[in-house]
A and B are shown apart, each in its own frame.
Chain A
C-alpha cells in the first residue's frame, strides 16, 4: 500500500503543454477519482503515474519514493485500460498469469494468485476462454483480474467502464467499490462521468484543460464548488446558470435581480465583500433546488417547453429569455409543454459567481 504524491507535475507534448503544474496528494488506501471533460489531461496524468508517459516537469512519488525515473514495472502499480488491452491470443488464465510467468515467478505462487483473482472477480469458469469469447463485462473483469494478480500497491483505472452498457456500468461500479474495500489499496480512477466520480470517490479531483479546478470529497464539491466550472460539472442534471445584476448592497449581503425575470430579486447573504452595485453576476441554482411558488425567497415564472417524466421526478425544460432552465419537480403526470409554471428559489440554495466564473461567497 502506498500514498501517491504529485508535485507541480507538468506534461508537454513537443511545445504544447497539456498539464500545467498539477499537485495532488493521494493518501494511502484512498479512492481518488480524476474527473473532467474530454481532453482535459486525465489520462495523461494517470499515464505519467504509471510511467507510460515521461514527466516533463515536477515530481511524482509513490510510497514516499520519487519515481520520475523508475521503470513502469518497478513502480508497484497496476493499470486497467479503457480498451481492456487483453492479450487477444491468450486464454483468460494465460492473460492473468502472463506477467508472472514471463518473470519466472514460481508456478505454485502464480497459480495461487491467479486462482485468488479469479475467485474475487468470479471468473473461474471463464479461465479457458479467449477474450473474443467474452462479453464486455467479463473482459473488464479479466482486465481487473490481471491487475489484481500483480498485487500492486496502487491501482490505476482509465475509464474502465466507458465501453459497457448502462446497467453493467452500475453493476461494475459497485464491484469496483467492493474491491476497494476488500483489498484496501490506493486506487486512482479516471472518468468523465460525474456520476461515477460521485459514487466511487473518497475524494474527487476536477480537471479542466490541464488545470486542477478543485479537489474535495464528492458532497463538498456538490455543496461548495470553488467555481462555476466545478459547479456545472458536478451534479446531474447540470446546475442552471442565470444572468443577474447586483442592484443593492449592504454589509454581509447583496441583492441581485435576475436579468430574464423582470423584478425577481434575491437577497443573498455573503461572507466576503459584495461586488459593486451594477456589476453583472451569475446565479447558479441546481435543478433540484427549485421550490413550490411562495416557499422560497423569490418566485419566478417560466414557460415549460418539454417535460421528461422519469416516474419519481420530472424534469421540466423551460425557456426564459435566452436561458434554458432545467427544473426538477415531483412527478406530476399532467404537466405538459406550453404550461406556465411558477417556482421559487432560495438564497441558501443558490450560488453566486462573477462573470469570469469565480465564486462569490
Chain B
C-alpha cells in the first residue's frame, strides 16, 4: 500500500511541483506581501502600512462602491433573465432548440477584447447603433461614456449579455431534471402554469439558482475587462472603476505590490463573505 502511494506521488510530483510554485506559493506570498511596504527598496515588514491605507483610501471605497453597485443590480437582473431564457429554452413549443442553445452560449466563447470593442462601437455617441435606435423612436442620444450612470449601465448590459446565456444553460439542466409528471400532477390539481412556475419550478430549481448566483457574485467581484476596455480604465473619472481595476492600477501600473495584495485579499474575503450570507439565507429549512 505504502509503496503504491509512493509511486503515485512520484507520478504526481511534476504537477504538484508546478502547482505549488505557480499557485500555492503566490497565494501565500501575496498574503505576506500585503504586510510589507513595497515602495521602498528593500521591502520592509510593516503590518499596518497597506491595510491602514486601505481603510482610509477614497479610491478604494469608490471602487468598492462601484463593484457592489454592479453586483446588486446586475446579478439579480441577469439571473432572472437567465431563468426566463431557460424556461423558454425548455418549452416544448420551441423549434430549433439546438440553435438557441448555441446562440445563448456563444457570447462566452467570444474573445473579451473583441466583444468589448463591439460594445464600445454599439454605444458610440455619433454612430453607435444604440443611439441610432433611440433617435429613431424619437428619444435623444445619450452620451454613454461621458457620464457615470450611463457608463455603469453599459457595463452591466455588457456583462449581462456575456453571461446570461451561460447561466441559462446551467439552469436549463436544472429544469430538465424536474420530472414531467410532477407538472402533470399539478395540472390535474388545477394549478395554472404561472402558479406551477412559482410553486414548483422555482423551489425545485433553487439549488441551481443559488449555484449560478454564487458563480456570478464571484465573477462580478473580480470584474475587470469591461471597465478596462469598454469604459476605458474605469472612466469617466473613476466612475466605473472596480476593485479589479484598482488592483491592476496599484499592482501593475504603480508597481505597489503590497497594496495590490491587500486589495486582492479584500476582494476574496468579500466574495467569500457574500457567498456565505447567500448560502445561509437560502438554506433549506430543517
Which residues of chain A are near B14, meaning CB under 8 Å? none
Say whether A98 contacts B189, CB under 8 Å. yes
Closest-CB distance, B149 to chain A (whole angstroms): 40
Assess A85 versus B187: contact at CB under 8 Å? Given A102-B195, A102-B199. Answer: no
CB pair A78 B188 closer than 8 Å = yes
B6 at the interface (CB under 8 A from A): no
Listed in ascending order, the chain A residues whose CB lies under 8 Å from chain B are 50, 52, 71-74, 77-79, 81, 83, 85-89, 98-99, 102-103, 146, 150
Among A78, A85, A99, A146, the residue within 8 A (CB) of B181 is A85
Task: Flag if B188 contacts A72 (CB, 8 Å).
Answer: yes
For residue B204, CB closer than 8 A to chain A, the reply is yes
Query: Residues of B contacting A50 with CB < 8 Å?
Result: 188
Within 8 A of A (CB), among B142-199: 179, 181-182, 184-191, 195, 199
Question: In the complex, what residues of A have CB within 8 A of residue B200's CB?
Answer: 87
| Contact (A99, B187) CB under 8 Å given A81-B181, A83-B181, A89-B204 | no
Known: A87-B185, A146-B185. 7 other contacts (CB 8 A): A52-B187, A73-B188, A81-B184, A85-B185, A88-B204, A102-B191, A150-B188
Given A52-B184, A85-B184, A89-B204, the answer on whether A99 and B189 have CB atoms closer than 8 Å is: yes
The verdict on B111 contacting chain A, using a C-beta distance below 8 Å, is no
Most buried by A among B187, B189, B191: B189
Bound CA–CA A338/B228 (angstroms):
87
A residues within 8 A CB of B188? 50, 52, 72-73, 77-79, 99, 150
Asked whether any CB of chain A lies closer than 8 Å to the CB of B203, the reply is: yes
> Among A81, A83, A102, which residue has its beta carbon within 8 angstroms of that of B189?
A102
CB distance from B118 to the nearest CB of A (A): 42
Smallest CB-CB A-B distances: 6 pairs? A99-B189, A73-B190, A85-B181, A85-B185, A89-B203, A102-B191
The smallest beta-carbon distance between B205 and chain A, in angstroms, is 10
Q: Which of A71, A79, A85, A88: most chain B CB closer than 10 A?
A: A85
Q: In the complex, what distance in Å separates the CA atom of A72 from the CA atom of B183?
A: 12
Q: Which residues of B contact A (CB under 8 A)?
A: 179, 181-182, 184-191, 195, 199-200, 203-204
Known contacts A87-B200, A102-B199; A73 and B179 CB within 8 A of each other: no
* A95 nearest in chain B by CB position: B185
Give CA–CA (A80, B203) in the complex, Å.
Answer: 23
Inside 8 A of A150's CB, which chain B residues have their CB? 188-189
Pick the contact of B190: A52, A79, A88, A103 (CB < 8 A): A103
Residue contact B195 to A85, C-beta cutoff 8 Å: no
Sample (23) of A-B pairs whose CB atoms are under 8 Å apart: A52-B184, A52-B188, A72-B188, A73-B189, A73-B190, A79-B185, A81-B181, A81-B185, A83-B179, A85-B182, A85-B185, A86-B185, A87-B182, A87-B185, A87-B186, A88-B182, A89-B203, A98-B199, A99-B186, A99-B190, A102-B195, A146-B189, A150-B189
Residues in A neighbouring B181, C-beta threshold 8 A:
81, 83, 85
Contact B187 A73 (CB under 8 A): yes
Q: How far is the CA of A83 from the CA of B191 in the complex (A)?
A: 20
For B195, what are the chain A residues with a Cβ–Cβ distance below 8 Å? 102
A77 CA / B187 CA spacing, docked (Å): 12
How many Å from the CB of A175 to the closest CB on chain B? 20
B257 CB to closest chain A CB (Å) equals 49
Chain B's nearest CB lies how many Å from the CB of A153? 13
- Assuming the A-B contacts A87-B200, A102-B199, are A72 and B187 also in contact, with contact meaning beta carbons closer than 8 angstroms in the complex? yes
Which single residue of chain B is at the shortest CB-CB distance from A89?
B203
- How distant is the Cα of A102 from the Cα of B186 in the complex, in angstroms? 10
CB distance from B255 to the nearest CB of A (A): 53
- B179 contacts across to A, CB distance below 8 A: 83, 85
Which of B188, B190, B195, B204 has the largest number of chain A CB atoms within 10 A?
B188
Q: What is the CA–CA distance of A52 and B188 in the complex, to the nearest angstrom?
A: 9
Q: Which residue of chain A has the shortest Cβ distance to B195 in the bound complex?
A: A102
Give CA–CA (A251, B195) in the complex, Å: 71
Chain A min CB distance to B195 (Å): 6
- Residues on B with beta carbons closer than 8 Å to the beta carbon of A83: 179, 181
Chain A residues with CB below 8 A from B199, complex form: 98, 102
Question: Are A98 and B191 closer than 8 Å at their CB atoms?
Answer: yes
Q: Which residues of A contact B204 (CB under 8 A)?
A: 88-89
Report the separation of the CA atoms of residues A72 and B191 in the bound assembly, to the nearest whole angstrom. Answer: 11
How far is it, in angstroms, between the C-alpha of A86 and the C-alpha of B203 when the chains are bound?
14
- Inter-chain contacts of A71 with B (CB < 8 A): 190
In the assembled complex, the Cα of A87 lies from the Cα of B181 at a distance in Å of 10
Report A185 CB to chain B, min CB distance, Å.
Answer: 16
Q: How far is the CA of A225 from the CA of B222 in the complex (A)?
A: 75
Q: Which residue from chain A places its CB closest to the CB of B187 in the assembled complex? A: A72
B189: chain A residues within 8 A (beta carbon): 73, 98-99, 102-103, 146, 150
Look across to chain B and name the residue whose beta carbon is closest to the beta carbon of A147: B188
